[in-house]
Structure 1
Amino acid sequence: MKLVSFYRFVGVAALASLALVGVAHAQTDYPNKPITIVVGYPPGGSTDLNGRVVAAELAKKLGVSVVVENIGGAGGAIGAQKVANATPDGYTLLVGANNEIAISRLVSASVKYTLKDFTPIGLIASQPMVLVASAKTGVKTTDQFLSLAKTNPGRFSYGSSGVGTALHLAGEMIKEEAGIFMTHIPYRGVAPLTNDLLGNNIEFGVYVLSSGLPHIKAGKVVALGTTEKKRSHVTPDVPALAEHPKLKHIDISSWFALMGPAKLPAPVLAKLQKALADSLQSADLRKKLEDSGSAIAPLNVDMHKYLVDETAKYQKIVDFAKIRE
């Protein structure tokens, strides 16, 4: 019996060793099959654009096919949850925005994942949001906007693409900083918000800059200010809201990042980080993203600190506005 037990132990140990060798080989041989990048929104939006240009460059750098899978719903959270639940082998990744990576779980009890369920690979790009006025208001400047809102508390409304989105939080940050009160009107995306702004059914709105740019350039809405500290390179004539003394602390953007499931093996993570860093130097990628209003992320961002700091910023706004679904 003892001899049988010994051979059984040897057999189990040998199988375990082979499994470890197989895992190690898979990590050093990575990637050897197609990679899927999940985008938690339908095709055509800013997150989808980031996902597709990054996928194209990663395919060149890694030498395998990289496909984008659009999984819309719950403000990107359904797609993010799929990646959080995926096997951590580097073949299922997420290109996500701050909405689903950092904000959703602060405002919705139905979101079960946290930052601990992901391995941050790196930032891709960011772009400001923009506060706009409908033509009916006659408002042309930040000063006029603040004066109108201050003297008419509760009379005016602003729209965003949904409760708990970065656009909503930007609007609430403006309200808190300026000490004004406006009603938030959530829309199911940019299209219906635009229809109401152009139809003069709502006075103000907050866009991601790339979404608002066509309407601003066409003169259909008036850009009052962007939400990052400095002016955007694509709208140099539009002031940053922070240039106004009553809004000097306004600094919030929409950013996009490449993420993997938690416990991504170190060799796989290192390869992905290098491939992403190399991709962000591509002239084609840079042109596509910069033309859309984005700024390419700097290299060597401390992702852990960045995500912690951003989440703390969002938590403050969520608490102020009492946003909780």
Structure 2
Amino acid sequence: MKNILGAILGTALCVAACGGAAAQPAAPYPDRPVQMVVSWQAGGVVDTIGRALAQAMSDLSEGRFVVINRDGASGIVGAQAVSSARPDGYTIGFGPITPITTASHTVRGVPFTVDSFEYVCKVFENVLAVSVAETSPFRSMPELIAAIRARPDTMTYGHFGTNSLGHISFANIVRGLSLRVTDVPFRGETPIYPEMLSGRLDFGMGTVGGARGKPVRLLAVFGDQRSAAAPDVPSTRELGLPTLQPVLSGITVPRGTPAAITERLETLCRQGTEESSFRTVMGRLGEPILYAGQEAFTAQARRDNAEKIEVVRALGLVPQ
């Protein structure tokens, strides 16, 4: 009898203990710091936006989002760090997805593809632009193109990396108009402007946001329409030039990240873009917030990838 009572008591205690353990709520995500990998240099527009979003998401959650700059190879270094990270939501990427949808077709040995990531949310579009120094004699895109035609192989322009989207976008114009001009690659956008302002470059391929506040003149923005961030600047489409679309920019995570985490990140991202602190930064930068959730961003990323494959083939670019 004593043994039977002991067994019953033991079972009851076990059930209570096991049931109590199972009833414990899971720790809220994130319960420790999240590394937000920004694949571009500190101090640039992408970095500034990433830090503002990271702060807003930190304020909205139990955790802390910390920006880690992993620039290099036109964003490939940072994208690789994200794709190879453990898919647990504690390493996420932020910035343009060009390393994913462009570099994987233009750079030899890139260890990821468009399928290596989950696309959590789009926050803004990084609009590419052709710019010159304020002291430049060129006041319009037609004037610049006429000068390139008149001085073949003598004019130079800077872009943010060989086979980067900036390079491909102007190479598409060069091919379409049969121009001859020398391109100079840089490690990111920021170093282009001092070289252009010093007169060592005739013009540059950068972004609307990157050029803001600098003594430069925008001659054209890439896209079908003018950018809300630079409404007085004509688009390449309206100028009748070969056109590629703006750069999709947002949060990505490694493929296989649990749906519960990507959904939580999507919610924090959306709420973060609605925070006044974030909107103040975007307003100061002159960057419109163009939010898209996971479903829409994923569709846009896949379409962008397909379009880049087509352009790279048309240009005959060989992975380097």
Which residue does the alignment assign to 1:173? 172
Partner of residue 219 from structure 2, selected from 220, 224, 245 = 224
Give the number of equivalent residue pairs.
Answer: 298
1:207 is paired with a residue whose SS is strand
What's the offset of the Cα at 1:60?
A: 2.1
Which residue does the alignment assign to 1:133? 132
Which residue does the alignment assign to 1:90? 89
Which residue does the alignment assign to 2:282? 289
What's the offset of the Cα at 1:137?
A: 5.7
1:275 is paired with a residue whose SS is helix
Which residue does the alignment assign to 1:241? 236
Which residue does the alignment assign to 1:312? 306
Contact 2:208 2:230 in 1 (8 A): no
Amino acid across the alignment from 1:254: V
Contact 2:87 2:257 in 1 (8 A): yes
CA-to-partner distance for each residue in 1:9-60, whole Å, 9 max, x for gaps?
A: xxxxxxxxx9xx99x965x743322222111233112221222111111112
Contact 2:73 2:161 in 1 (8 A): no
Structure 1 residues 287, 230: closer, same or farther in 2, change over 3 A? farther
Partner of residue 280 from structure 1, selected from 273, 284, 288 = 273
Which residue does the alignment assign to 1:299? 292
What's the offset of the Cα at 1:114?
A: 1.4
2:157 is paired with a residue whose SS is strand
Contact 1:172 1:317 in 2 (8 A): no
Contact 1:290 1:296 in 2 (8 A): no
Contact 2:35 2:91 in 1 (8 A): yes
Contact 2:129 2:206 in 1 (8 A): yes
Structure 1 residues 124, 298: closer, same or farther in 2, change over 3 A? closer
What's the offset of the Cα at 1:105?
A: 1.5
Which residue does the alignment assign to 1:8? none
Which residue does the alignment assign to 1:324? 319
TM-score (norm 1): 0.82
What's the offset of the Cα at 1:274?
A: 1.4
Contact 1:172 1:321 in 2 (8 A): no
Amino acid across the alignment from 1:118: F
Amino acid across the alignment from 2:81: K
Distance in 2 separating the partners of 1:146 and 1:73: 30
Which residue does the alignment assign to 1:210? 209
Distance in 2 separating the partners of 1:92 and 1:192: 28
5+ residue gaps, structure 2: 1-17
CA-to-partner distance for each residue in 1:254-305, whole Å, 9 max, x for gaps?
A: 3321011111111112111111112222232123124324221233452232
5+ residue gaps, structure 1: 1-17
2:231 is paired with a residue whose SS is coil
Structure 1 residues 286, 321: closer, same or farther in 2, change over 3 A? farther
Does residue 50 (structure 1) correspond to residue 49 (structure 2)? The answer is yes
Amino acid across the alignment from 1:158: Y
Bigger mean CA offset, 48-57 vs 143-152? 143-152
Does residue 265 (structure 1) correspond to residue 264 (structure 2)? The answer is no
CA-to-partner distance for each residue in 1:197-241, whole Å, 9 max, x for gaps?
A: 2232222211111222223xx3xx332111132223333222222
Map residues 25-36 of structure 1 onto 2, 5 A cutoff: 26=26, 29-36=28-35
Distance in 1 separating the partners of 2:105 and 2:162: 12
Amino acid across the alignment from 1:317: V
Percent identity of paired positions between Structure 1 and Structure 2: 22
Distance in 2 separating the partners of 1:282 and 1:107: 37
2:251 is paired with a residue whose SS is strand
1:235 is paired with a residue whose SS is coil
TM-score (norm 2): 0.83
2:71 is paired with a residue whose SS is coil
Amino acid across the alignment from 2:140: T
Does residue 61 (structure 1) correspond to residue 55 (structure 2)? The answer is no
1:96 is paired with a residue whose SS is strand
Distance in 1 separating the partners of 2:105 and 2:318: 9
Structure 1 residues 136, 281: closer, same or farther in 2, change over 3 A? closer
Structure 1 residues 187, 79: closer, same or farther in 2, change over 3 A? closer
What's the offset of the Cα at 1:313?
A: 2.4
Contact 1:177 1:250 in 2 (8 A): no
Bigger mean CA offset, 136-145 vs 49-58? 136-145
1:258 is paired with a residue whose SS is strand
